[in-house]
Each structure stands twice: as structure tokens, then as C-alpha cells.
Amino acid sequence: MTVLVVTGTGTEIGKTVTTAAVAAVAVRAGRSVAVLKPAQTGVAPGDPGDVDDVVRLAGDRVTPVELGRYPEPLAPGTAAARAGLPPVRPAQIAEAAQKLAASHDLVLVEGAGGLLVHFDAEGSTLADAARLLDAPVLVVARAGLGTLNSVQLTAEALRSRGLRHSGVVIGSWPREPDLAERCNVADLPRVAGVGLAGAIPAGAGTLTPQEFRAGAARWLGPALGGVWDAETFTAAEGPPAFG
Ligand SMILES: Nc1ncnc2c1ncn2[C@@H]1O[C@H](COP(=O)(O)OP(=O)(O)OP(=O)(O)O)[C@@H](O)[C@H]1O
Ligand SMILES: [Mg+2]
């Protein structure tokens, strides 16, 4: 796997923190990594974007690339139209990712918001880019009540487009999970039709970069280069006995 598309069930789910963890583990393993954020919204020129967060957490051996940035915190297509700026098209995303893949062992493509967010006025999405790249898609999800529906909708959208679902990562796993969060550990793989690929502890994004890099392998399963084990996690953190 050279290109991995990282989407989420929405915005502010933990895509960037997850992307940083995957990058950190790969860097530690001696792999060269690039992170591509096709469209960064809600930032002024010169402001740090998601790729800068990834570099801060995973290290400056990660190559950061943005294709477009727009000042208003909106879906990229809307933000581009309102700013009178050209949108980022799926073909550009695919071309940029392929170019990076020629010189890196791993290219992480972080979407904006969820899978079907529009990048342009025609309604192109990250899924279109993933299809052009024939790349697997990792889905970052919330832990709590409401996440099952969003995760199943995302899985169905991927499958109906012929895309490969490479697993679900819980973007922020609380220190003291409530009943819904614990039950979701067992239900998420069922509704996704694919296993859990990791769980990032709440607060990971605010660790020092050294702590983050040292911890990342324990948050991600083997498919993402880590040592996190879904079965062990489910036994420890999953559904409690009834009542
Ligand atoms: N595991 C975590 N530990 C600490 N903070 C987290 C964690 N997950 C998410 N956050 C925080 O929640 C916010 C949203 O996370 P993040 O930026 O990763 O979301 P996102 O899905 O990438 O959002 P966007 O759609 O804007 O790209 C950030 O302020 C981030 O620091
Ligand atoms: Mg992000």
C-alpha cells in the first residue's frame, strides 16, 4: 500500500491526529512519508493547516503538501466558489498523490470533513479521487452514541463505489468510556463490515511530539504498522456485562 486515503464520518473527528499517528509509525519504521491535504479550508494565508499539525506530531521527515486553501471554514467546493478561487479536482488530487508516491514509501491523503463532501461545483468528492488512485480508504469515526449510523453509511458509500474499506479507527477514545462507547467497540466492525484498525486515546493530539511518536504504534493495528490488537482492546474496553 503506497497511497492511503484517510476520511472520516465528519469534521473534527480526528482524521488529522490519526493521519499523524500513521505517519509517525511509518517514519519510525524508516519509511518515507508524504501527507497530502487536497483542500484546506478555514485558514488565512500563512496559517498552519492540517499538514502542519501532522509534521509537528510526526516529525519533519514527513513531506507536507496542500493543493488549495480557502479562507472560510466550509466544504471545499462552497469555500472555493465563494472566494472566487479554483476548486481542487479529483484528477489533481490523484496526480499529486501519484507524483508523491513515486518518491515516498507512503502517501496519506486527508480529506475534508466526510467522504461525500463536495470539492467543486459538480459535486466531486474524495471518493472520486480514491477511485482514480485505486487506493484503500481508512475511516476515522467518533466513539460515542450516533457513530454506528455514520460508519455504516460511509461503508455503504465506499462499497457502492467499488472502493476498498481498509478499516475504522476510533479518532478519540476516552479514558472513561460510557456505555455507548463501550458497546460501540463491538458494533463498529459489524456495521462497517471491516475490523477496527486502531483507537487513538483522547488527548493524544496534545501530547508532546516525542510522546506522540513513542505512543503511536500502540494505537494502531498491524495493517497500519502498529501493535494495537483489536481483540485485546475489545476484551478490555468493550461491552460490559448487562445491568
Ligand atoms: N485523540 C485525540 N486527542 C486529542 N485531541 C484530539 C484527538 N482527536 C481529535 N482531537 C482534537 O479534536 C480536534 C479535531 O481533530 P482533527 O483535527 O484530527 O479532526 P479532523 O477530522 O482532521 O477535522 P477536519 O475535518 O477539520 O480535518 C482537534 O483540535 C484535535 O486536536
Ligand atoms: Mg483534519
Give the position, in ligand 1's atom list, of the atom nearest the Cα of 206. 4
Check: CB of residue 29 under 8 Å from CB of residue 14. Answer: no
- Give the per-residue pLDDT at 1: 73
SS (H, E, C) 167-218: EEEEEEECCCCCHHHHHHHHHHHHHHCCCEEEEEECCHHHCCHHHHHHHHHH
- Find the ligand nearest to 170 CA: 1
Give the position, in ligand 1's atom list, of the atom nearest the Cα of 53. 17
Beta-carbon-side half-sphere exposure of residue 219 (alpha carbons within 13 Å): 30
Out of 15, 37, 69, 89, the active site residue is: 37
Give the position, in ligand 1's atom list, of the atom nearest the Cα of 204. 3
Is residue 74 in contact with ligand 1, taking CB distance under 6 Å?
no
- Give the per-residue pLDDT at 203: 98
Nearest partner of 32 among 52, 1, 61, 56, judged by Cα: 61
Strands 196-201 and 165-173: parallel
Write out the chain's pLDDT in tens, 243 residues: 799 999 999 999 999 999 999 999 999 999 999 999 999 999 998 999 999 999 999 999 999 999 999 999 999 999 999 999 999 999 999 999 999 999 999 999 999 999 999 999 999 999 999 999 999 999 999 999 999 999 999 999 999 999 999 999 999 999 999 999 999 999 999 999 999 999 999 999 999 999 999 999 999 999 999 999 999 999 999 999 998
- Give the per-residue pLDDT at 243: 82
Long-range contacts of 121-128 (CB under 8 A, 24+ apart): 121/77, 121/81, 121/87, 123/77, 124/77, 124/87, 124/89, 124/90, 125/90, 126/5, 126/7, 126/38, 126/90, 126/93, 127/157, 127/158, 127/161, 127/163, 128/90
> Residue 54: phi, psi to the nearest 5?
-65, -45
Q: Nearest-5° angle of CA 87, CA 19, CA 194?
A: 100
In the sheet where 165-173 sits, what is the strand order?
62-70, 33-41, 106-114, 3-8, 137-141, 165-173, 196-201
37 in active site: yes
Nearest CA to ligand 1 atom 27: 112
